[in-house]
Amino acid sequence: MSDASWFTRRHAGILLHPTSLPGPGGIGDLGESARRWIEWLRQAGCGLWQVLPLGPTGYGDSPYQCFSAFAGNPLLISLEDLVAAGLLADDELAGSPRFPDDLVKFGEVIRFKDRLLDLAAFHFNARATTELKLRYEAFRAEQAGWLEDFALFMALKRAHADRSWTEWEGELGERKPAALAEARRRLAAETEGTRVRQFLFFEQWNALHDLARRTGVRIVGDIPIFVAPDSADVWAHSRLFHLDSSGRPTVVAGVPPDYFTETGQRWGNPLYRWEVMRQDGYAWWMGRLRAALSQVDIVRLDHFRGFEAYWEVPADAPTAETGRWVPGPGAGFLEAVRRELSALPLIAEDLGVITPEVVELREAFDLPGMKVIQFAFDSDADNPFLPHNYTSNAVVYTGTHDNDTSCGWYASAGEVERDYCRRYLRCDGEDIAWDLIRAAWASVANWAVTPLQDVLSLDSRARMNYPGRSDGNWSWRVRTDELTSEAAERLRDMSECYGRLAMTEAGEEE
């Protein structure tokens, strides 16, 4: 089946970040549990697996605040697969801490896995096969455009006790050639360790991606519109951002007061100098998109409305209430993307304050937008999130990573909203998560996605993220015993009923 026809066919999928998978090591990884997850998706008849950004997490362990827009998260590397590859020995994993199986304790996991990943990188030259070493050298050459800066950035962060690059000595922060050359010499072992970690991540991720495609599952990735201030991207390309002479942002990204927060969300990301990016055809962005689409099949373009206009907050403002709308790069940027990629395999995350101009931009490029059923019942029949108002060129979600679980949402909603929900869905609310899944699957939207938490009818304790809260997020994990064949069969039956069964590469229904 051609990609073009695949994108317009009805599909069903699950939103689950790899960190939430079960397995050893205190965090989901790309090893056996991920391979079993792909098989569970096949059993469930799902053709889509949606993930959050896959980069190395920084502040607050958020996948939306990464040290690089190009790198992978080494915490996702399977240690067991490194043993199978001969890069670690069984006895080197002996004495591993006992981690909880239902949440990620990031601090403990980082301390545990960092030591073993350092050991695997140290052993690489001595233990790797000739074939693996050749693949590593090819990876270094192909990814040098971002890998070398990232490897040095991470080595320098370690050397500076993880402080932000704006706090390094001036010549390193300013990237003076002599200072960088000396740092590369002094930190050669550390930079090599980071390169090896990245190679190992992409070896495992690419193998998993290949397995998914052979199984009939396409992976939906996620590109945050903005990057973290303390990232290799900002350090290596400072001219592309609104920064002062010390490298600190003069204005930052956010959103005004909305559904989630009364004072808005002050994200703190530096804003792009779009006029500078335009001069070279948005080369940095084109590289970012090409890199993402080499890892996944489709990309959710986060905060799409920021490409039409974005909320600019003064860097010294304590909240996002003080700000202004500034025009984004608009159609010119998307035209450049279409020329570069010869297609637009993108989902526009068009939630929040959406103006007619944003809708016009999305429709001009025929991008599917997002519908969230949890937003549907707080007004009347004209609510655009009600299924009868959808078009086929849309992706419908029961909720996203930023929402409460559907059970949690229903439990906390007002009675007027709950009553409208029950009347609309013709249900009693006793099985509300699956009532919402059914509404999504039955809708005209081409793609329907639900967080795994809703398939399992979990309450607010399984919520992934609270927007505007800086800690206590991203830690939920599914237990192995929760991924039952009964849940898979129930989802498969619903997909069959509503014409959403997954297809294999050959175009045959599973």
Which active-site residues does the annotation give? 302, 349, 402
C-alpha pair distances (Å), 444 with each of 215, 333, 362, 382, 399: 25, 30, 19, 17, 17
Question: Which tokens belong to 48?
Answer: 């889509």
- Torsion, CA 374, CA 377, CA 382, CA 387, rounded to 10: 50
Length of the chain: 510
CA–CA gap between residue 360 and residue 356 (Å, rounded): 6
Which own/partner pairs from 94-98 qualify as long-range (CB within 8 Å, at least 24 positions apart)?
96/24, 96/25, 97/26
The helix/strand/coil state of 509 is strand
Residue type, 73: N
C-alpha pair distances (Å), 204 with each of 48, 82, 85, 207, 256: 19, 10, 11, 5, 40
Q: Which of 111, 120, 121 has its CA nearest to residue 26?
A: 111
CA–CA gap between residue 510 and residue 501 (Å, rounded): 7
Return the bridge partners of 298, or none: 220
The helix/strand/coil state of 503 is strand
Contact 152, 116 (CB under 8 A): no
Contact 453, 462 (CB under 8 A): yes
State the greatest distance between any 2 C-alpha atoms of the chain, in Å, as a whole number. 70
DSSP for 1-62, please give it.
--HHHHHTS-EEEEE--GGGS--STTS--SSHHHHHHHHHHHHTT--EEE----SPB-GGG-
Place of tokens 């959103």: 255
Return the bridge partners of 221, or none: 299
| Sign, CA torsion 408/477/61/235 | negative
DSSP for 245-290, please give it.
TTS-BSEEEEE-S-SS-TT-EEEEEEPB-HHHHHHTTSHHHHHHHH
DSSP for 131-198, please give it.
HHHHHHHHHHHHTHHHHHHHHHHHHHHHHTTT--GGGS-HHHHTT-HHHHHHHHHHTHHHHHHHHHHH
CA–CA gap between residue 481 and residue 126 (Å, rounded): 39
